[in-house]
């Protein structure tokens, strides 16, 4: 499978979703509702899902989207390759109008994210990667390859820790408490991963629930930047298309 041939379609789908999201964002008419899991849903989520699904359809690969239909494991367990999509990651941030939300599109192959696109509607920036193709940042006409990260020494003072504003719980505080004079940095949605990919943070502990579509695209990007997304319960990276799409707790380092 040629990932470079699939990448332009994924980027185009992300850009189209950004346009739909911004049209709603700037209108102020979010038409927000609450889903069964008590998470928010807006008309922007729905419009972004619709345009992404339509554009990815031409690849003839199945799509698993947060806002799509609930696909039983029995149906998807034999998928070798598929698209995993979060049309609007950070709906709570979207509703706060703080700009910290993204569009996430990943290609999963045998449970591993091998292509990732994370687009930021408000800034227009797009981060993307393909397996063994490096991680890249596109800002307007400028294209930058992200440097490979050097391992951070967690024993040193001043290590930069990504900490979610809305998920600062006991486990996270305990982890941070074990570091020497840490510096906390915070962003919403997949932007937390991108801080790591760009070298603006050194470790991201996540001791709070996430779903596979929340992490897959950014996981592909940080891998190509030389980082790993390790489970906290055993020394393995996150995998995808599990029977339960809820991720275990993890640490990006």
Q: What is the CATH number of the domain that holds 207?
A: 3.40.190.80
Chain segment 15-69, per-residue pLDDT in tens: 999 999 999 999 988 998 888 777 889 999 999 999 999 999 999 999 999 999 8
pLDDT digits (tens, 9 = 90+) for 146-175: 999 988 888 899 999 998 666 678 999 999
SS3 readout for 82-139: EEEEEEEECHHHHHHCCCCCEEEEEEEECCEEEEEEEECCCCCCEEEEECCCEEEEEE
pLDDT value, residue 26: 95
pTM here is: 0.96
Query: Is the domain of 81 the same as that of 125?
Result: yes
Angle between helices 43-56 and 3-27 (to 10 degrees): 160
171 phi/psi in degrees, rounded to 5: -65, -40
Domain end, chosen from 118, 145, 172, is at 145
User: Do residues 220 and 123 share a domain?
Assistant: no
Per-residue model confidence (pLDDT) at position 61: 98
Computed over every residue of the chain, the mean pLDDT equals 95
139 and 177 share a domain?
no
Does 48 share its domain with 126? yes
State which residues form the domain around 83.
Answer: 3-145
Angle at 124 between CA 121 and CA 130, to 5 degrees: 95
Are residue 171 and residue 141 in the same domain, yes or no? Answer: no
Q: Is residue 11 part of a domain?
A: yes
Q: 102-136, pLDDT tens digit by residue?
A: 999 999 999 999 999 999 999 999 999 999 999 99
Residue 153 lies in a domain: no
Distances (CA, A) of 214 to 118, 126, 185: 11, 16, 19
Q: What is the pLDDT of residue 166?
A: 61
Considering the domain architecture, whether residues 118 and 15 belong to the same structural domain is answered as: yes
Number of domains in the chain: 2
Closest CA to 135 of 47, 78, 81, 198: 198
State whether residue 9 is helix, strand or coil.
Answer: helix
> Structure tokens of 113?
């994210």
Cα separation, 253 vs 55, whole angstroms: 33
In a domain, 151, yes or no: no
Q: 150 in a domain, yes or no? A: no
Same domain, 107 and 37: yes
Eight-state DSSP code of residue 78 = T
Q: Is the domain of 172 the same as that of 80? A: no
Instruction: Let me know whether 141 and 215 are in one domain.
Output: no
């Amino acid at each position: 499978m040629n990932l470079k041939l699939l990448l332009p379609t994924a980027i185009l789908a992300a850009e189209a979703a950004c346009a739909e999201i911004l049209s709603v964002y700037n209108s102020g008419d979010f038409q927000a509702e609450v889903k069964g899991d008590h998470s928010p849903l807006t008309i922007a989520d729905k419009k972004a899902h619709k345009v992404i699904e339509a554009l990815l359809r031409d690849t003839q690969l199945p799509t698993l989207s947060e806002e799509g239909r609930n696909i039983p494991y029995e149906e998807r367990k034999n998928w070798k390759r598929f698209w995993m999509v979060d049309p609007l990651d950070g709906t709570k941030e979207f509703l706060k109008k703080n700009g910290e939300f993204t569009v996430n599109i990943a290609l999963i192959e045998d449970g591993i994210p091998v292509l990732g696109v994370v687009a930021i509607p408000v800034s227009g920036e797009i981060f993307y990667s393909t397996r063994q193709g490096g991680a890249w940042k596109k800002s307007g006409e400028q294209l930058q390859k992200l440097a490979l990260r050097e391992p951070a020494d967690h024993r040193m003072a001043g290590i930069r820790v990504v900490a979610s504003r809305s998920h600062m719980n006991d486990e996270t505080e305990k982890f941070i408490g074990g570091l020497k004079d840490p510096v906390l940095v915070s962003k919403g949605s997949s932007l937390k991963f991108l801080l790591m990919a760009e070298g603006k943070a050194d470790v991201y502990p996540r001791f709070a629930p996430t779903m596979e579509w929340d992490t897959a695209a950014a996981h592909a990007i940080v891998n190509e930047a030389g980082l790993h997304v390790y489970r906290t319960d055993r020394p393995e990276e996150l995998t995808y298309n599990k029977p339960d799409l809820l991720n275990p707790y993890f640490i990006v380092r």
